[in-house]
Chains A and B, each alone.
Chain A
Amino acid sequence: MIAFIWASVILALIATIMISLYGIARRPNLVKKLIALTIFGDTANLLVVLLGYRVIYPVAPPVLPYLSREALSQFVETAVDPLPQALVITAVVIGMAVNVLIAVLVIQLYRLYGTVDVRKIGERLPALLEGGEQ
């Protein structure tokens, strides 16, 4: 049963990644593309955290509960792998900063073109490039 739940969690995350990739590729609205991109990033991070998880019953976070050498071996028995978590913690903040950058660019595009639809922006872009100022 535990193996079944574990497998469904992994497959559900992969399905979420595929749906968000569909959103990035197929939605014409830039804001919806950004939302799909955040879902994609967060799901990828969650998969990395899942790599470090241990499927055992008493499972502990990677924080030493007591500062004594006697408790250390028992702690290592139950603690999860800390390395994926350390990689994800930076990826989350970098992801947030990059999302802010993309949001700023989308806002600026909206101010300049009056639309966030990539098809309409694509129609207007060649005319802008050829004719200089509109």
Chain B
Amino acid sequence: MKKLIPLIVILLTIFGLAHYIAPKLPPQTELRPLGEFYLKNSYFGEYSAKSPEVVTSILWDYRGVDTFFETSVFFLAIIGSLTVFRLNKKEERLAKQKPKEFTGGLTLVVKSVTKIIVVMILAVSASIALHGHLTPGGGFQGGSALAVAPLLIIAAYSKYALEEHGLDKTRALILRSIGLLGIALVALVPLLTGGFIMQNQPIFPAEIKGQLVSGSLIYYNLFEFLAVGGGFTAVFLLLAIPEKVFKEILGVGE
């Protein structure tokens, strides 16, 4: 009951203030000119990205350099996490060894459901990323969805199950590096033919065999998908190292 009083006070303040300022707020019914320009020109028009999805066309074409630097911030954040958890070769082998008391993950029911769900997550995340130029979605969202699949396997089985099947930290990092390298290459290709950095339409074909691929947008989405998915997977693998093993590595005993 005592906790309810501040809540009621806050609610009453909000509704009272809302009643007071509601007539004074400007009506937000019109588009801003810049937004209108993007809506009109993203598929039709002279400065076109040939994408019906206006958000993706802004993200990777009109304001491509913004996104390029946002990707570098993402890169730095992942590198920072990996640096805090850095291990040498001997310690890495120690982290990969199963501890003696390891029993093999959750029950059979959870494991069977996980097997089905993981395949579905992979399909859905690929669909989100590769249809990014047609429907709401894109590389960032697809990559975040992709990173859920290894996380689910870590929870239901263990991190050792992932590593035994070949997806260890190094491979996840290689996947992420391929993604980042791809983004940089696709951004630099227009310079070779006299265009500008990250320019879309004059260089990349808008359609391949009748399928709308929106020039460079599909490549950016694909590589961003790999970069985000691989980066998060690497960090999740490091976070999944058992506390006891890590304390042994750090040399801080109980």
Taking Cβ atoms with an 8 Å cutoff, the residues of A that contact B are 3-4, 6-8, 10-12, 15, 52-56, 61-64, 67, 69, 72, 75-76, 79, 81-83, 85-87, 89-94, 96-98, 100-101, 103-105, 107-108, 111-112
Minimal Cβ-Cβ distance residue in B for A98: B77
Tell me if B17 counts as interface (CB < 8 A to partner A).
yes
Interface secondary structure of B, over-half rule: helix
Residues of A within 8 A of B228 (CB): 93
Pick the residue among B54, B66, B67, B140 that contacts A82 (CB under 8 A).
B54
Residues of B within 8 A of A104 (CB): 80-81, 84-85, 235, 238-239
A63 touches B29 (CB 8 A): no
In Å, the complex CA distance between A67 and B214 comes to: 13
Q: Using a Cβ cutoff of 8 Å, how many contacts connect chains A and B? A: 148
A93 touches B74 (CB 8 A): yes
A52 touches B35 (CB 8 A): yes
Minimal Cβ-Cβ distance residue in A for B70: A90
Residues of A within 8 A of B239 (CB): 103-104, 107
In Å, the complex CA distance between A96 and B77 comes to: 9
For B78, B81, B143, B243, which residue has the most chain A Cβ atoms within 10 angstroms?
B81
Minimal Cβ-Cβ distance residue in A for B139: A93
Tell me if B42 counts as interface (CB < 8 A to partner A).
yes
With contacts A83-B58, A96-B232 known, what are 15 further pairs, Cβ within 8 A?
A4-B18, A10-B25, A55-B29, A61-B136, A63-B136, A76-B36, A81-B35, A83-B34, A86-B59, A87-B66, A97-B78, A98-B77, A100-B81, A101-B78, A104-B81
B73 touches A111 (CB 8 A): no
Tell me if B32 counts as interface (CB < 8 A to partner A).
yes
In Å, the complex CA distance between A94 and B227 comes to: 13
7 pairs from A and B in contact (CB 8 Å cutoff): A3-B25, A7-B18, A62-B38, A82-B39, A82-B54, A85-B55, A101-B80
In Å, the complex CA distance between A96 and B70 comes to: 12
In Å, the complex CA distance between A121 and B127 comes to: 46
For A87, A97, A98, which residue has the most chain B Cβ atoms within 10 angstroms?
A97
B246 touches A63 (CB 8 A): no
Residues of A within 8 A of B80 (CB): 101, 104
Tell me if B119 counts as interface (CB < 8 A to partner A).
no
Q: How far is the CB of A105 from chain B (nearest CB, A)?
A: 6
Interface string of B30-68 (1 = CB under 8 A from A): 111011101110111000000011110011000100110
A94 touches B27 (CB 8 A): no
Residues of B within 8 A of A108 (CB): 84-85
Minimal Cβ-Cβ distance residue in B for A52: B35
If A54-B28, A90-B140, A94-B77 touch, does A11 touch B44 (CB 8 Å cutoff)?
A: no
